[in-house]
Amino acid sequence: MAMAVNITYATASNDMVHNVDGTDFVYNAGDIAWTLASTALVWIMIPGVGYLYSGLLRRKNALNQLWLCMVTVGVVSFQWYIWGYSLAFSETGNAFIGDLKYAALVGVLDAPSMGSTRIPAIVFCVYQLMFAAITPMLAVGAIAERGRLGPMMVFVFIWSTLVYDPIANWTWNANGWSFKIGGLDFAGGTPVHISSGTAALAISIYLGKRRGYGTERLAYKPHNSSYVVLGTALLWFGWFGFNGGSALSANMRAANACIITNLAASVAGLTWMLWDYRLERKWSVVGFCSGGIVGLVAITPASGFVGPSASVAFGVVAGTVCNFATKLKFIFNYDDPLDIFASHGVGGMVGNILTALFAQKQVAALDGFSVINGGWIDHNWVQLGYQLADCCAGFGYSLVMTTLILWVMHFIPGLRLRATEEAEIVGIDDAEMGEFAYDYVGIDADLGPKESEMRAESPPLAEKEEPHAHHA
């Protein structure tokens, strides 16, 4: 139902004076424009994740990751409309989760937003929707090469409701426990990266290992390194809206967030590539892209709190720690095909902890109104405790809840996530979609010796059917 709104435009500026229940609120058209532009930037990151994941896999499993990214946008947009936004950002909820005040987006239009009184709630709502949509997409890449697609739609809806929304609430809602104690998370270290990376770990453990794990059969290189570069470019491009847009205003804090986002990614990309070079004496574009991503991940929680020099440290530490974290799957014996936990889970933790060390009052104050106590650089030693508490809560909650969701679905007919062995052999694209990323996808290379011999010895279908035709 359309609603009448009372807005007047100031002739001497780009401000809009908005009357809500007899109270005037001044919305800034420039801030609205920057936030809406940032919304589009974050949206393009979602297919960026799809291309990145697709390129890293085998060609017979390349298309389903692109399917997942588009379907995730659809499912989460619907969930956000129904109750997701309200559970995360209603101001009448509790320290853990919101209520249903804004279910079906009732009352979400012209009132001031929780994030900033300079933009209306509807602008804040659509911007935050993009964060809600990309987070489960980061996680569900963990089903790569062995997960069913239909149940994933159900999983994304439930996971967004039970995992993402509560963590977003406690991090960014004024009533949230982490927000109240003074936790610093500018753009999603815990709600986006730790939650998704940990969920990917839970999915990897639940699904078990792919067919042929530990053998030469799975010692493959990414099937399309160009897709990896394309996906990284879209993510890097969109991250200016992800971090810079989190200022919710076209101001100096947003500009600082943009410069340090790019710098951290650049330094982390070089760091990761150099670590890989020591092993193979090759300059790897996949290595640089992997490092760039973890640099972006690590700087996310700090992007509104630290300066350029600190962001260099973020890049070096994230590029190093996350590179070595890719070995965790061998130590703890789980199959995470895309190293999502190493990149996003560990990268988010690195970012949260470094934020405690390098956050500065003067950087937060660049927007003209934000006041924080800073981190260790401002002698606020207790900040590390707050950041560690947030890390541990995000990791523990996401791991336990994701595992519970997976096992409840496991015992519901039709919702079990693990694909059959036959589906693994032919590829999830063929088994689940009947479509391919390319005109020709061969599977013989992925079959064992016995299966290949059986295929070679098996007569063509026409020869098999000819005797039956004769008898008829």
Report which of 175, 179, 147, 9 is spatially closest to residue 67, judged by C-alpha positions.
147
Give the distance from CA 435 to its chain's centroid: 26
* DSSP annotation string for 4-48: --EEEE-TTSSEEEEEETTEEEEEEHHHHHHHHHHHHHHHHHHHH
296: helix, coil or strand?
Answer: helix
Domain range 31-419, CATH architecture: Orthogonal Bundle (1.10)
Specify the residue for token string 């059986």.
454
Residues 288-299 have a mean pLDDT of 98
Contact call for residues 18 and 110 (beta carbons, < 8 A): yes
Tens-place pLDDT, residues 40-66? 999 999 999 999 999 999 999 999 999
- Quickly count helices (H) and strands (E) in the chain: 21, 3
> Which has more pLDDT, 179 or 9?
179
Residues 174-183 have a mean pLDDT of 95
Of the pLDDT bands very low, low, confident and very high (cuts 50, 70, 90), residue 472 is: very low
State yes or no: pLDDT of 247 exceeds 80. Answer: yes
Residues 275-287 have a mean pLDDT of 93
pLDDT of residue 25: 78
Residues 215-243 have a mean pLDDT of 92
> Which has more pLDDT, 214 or 405?
405
C-alpha 205/C-alpha 142 separation (Å) is 10
* DSSP annotation string for 433-458: IS--SSS----GGGS-HHHHHHHHHS
% pLDDT > 70, the chain? 88
Give the distance from CA 172 to its chain's centroid: 17
State yes or no: pLDDT of 461 exceeds 50. Answer: no
112: helix, coil or strand?
Answer: strand
186: helix, coil or strand?
Answer: coil
pLDDT of residue 109: 84
Of the pLDDT bands very low, low, confident and very high (cuts 50, 70, 90), residue 185 is: very high
Which amino acid, one-letter code, is at 6?
Answer: N
Parallel, antiparallel or unpaired: strands 6-9 and 23-28: unpaired
pLDDT of residue 462: 41
Of the pLDDT bands very low, low, confident and very high (cuts 50, 70, 90), residue 2 is: very low
C-alpha 106/C-alpha 98 separation (Å) is 15
| Region label for 111, one of left (φ > 0), alpha (ψ between -120 and 50) or beta (otherwise) | beta
Of the pLDDT bands very low, low, confident and very high (cuts 50, 70, 90), residue 125 is: very high
State yes or no: pLDDT of 469 exceeds 60. Answer: no
Angle at 69 between CA 68 and CA 72, to 5 degrees: 80
Specify the residue for token string 């986002």.
261
Report which of 192, 183, 211 is spatially closest to residue 139, judged by C-alpha positions.
192
Contacts of 23 (CB under 8 A, 6+ apart): none
> Which has more pLDDT, 423 or 16?
423
pLDDT of residue 449: 53
